[in-house]
Amino acid sequence: MPKLVAVFVGGALGTVLRYFSMLLFNQTSFPFATFTVNMLGTLGLIIFYTLATHTFRLEDETKAFIATGLFGALTTFSALALEVSIYLTNEEYIQALLYMVISYLCGLLIAILGYRITLKITNNQVKQ
């Protein structure tokens, strides 16, 4: 399967997963759906990246399908930016700032912990 097709198929799957998460979480004063898909996507991508880098040999098409397609479509910086813009438009400056800081710091923490835990679980196995 060519890389472009892999990205397309992975992206379609990621988009559908994001859509269902938006249906699952009712809109509240905090955008839980976007926050959740961004955090789960971050964790999934870092686990995949760690395994692909340190443990498994994967075809370029597989990497494109999972990393760029699936997780690229699942996570959404544009929705985060839109939600922050809405907070700002409504003059909810504290909420805008908190949402940005919480999203960034939680994402970074999840990435660091996901990377370290994945390495520990796989015992730093080298690709074979």
Per-residue HEC secondary structure of 69-115 comes to: HHHHHHCCHHHHHHHHHHHHHCCCHHHHHHHHHHHHHHHHHHHHHHH
Pull the structure tokens for residue 16: 């559908």
| Residue pair 6/67 in contact by the 8 Å Cβ criterion | no
75 assigned ligand-binding residue:
yes
Residue 61 has pLDDT above 70, yes or no: yes
User: Which pLDDT belongs to residue 124?
Assistant: 66
Nearest partner of 103 among 85, 71, 80, judged by Cα: 80
User: Which pLDDT belongs to residue 107?
Assistant: 96
| Full-model pTM | 0.86
Specify which of 2-11, 28-37, 48-57 reaches the highest per-range mean pLDDT: 2-11
Specify which of 26-35, 63-72, 116-125 reaches the highest per-range mean pLDDT: 63-72
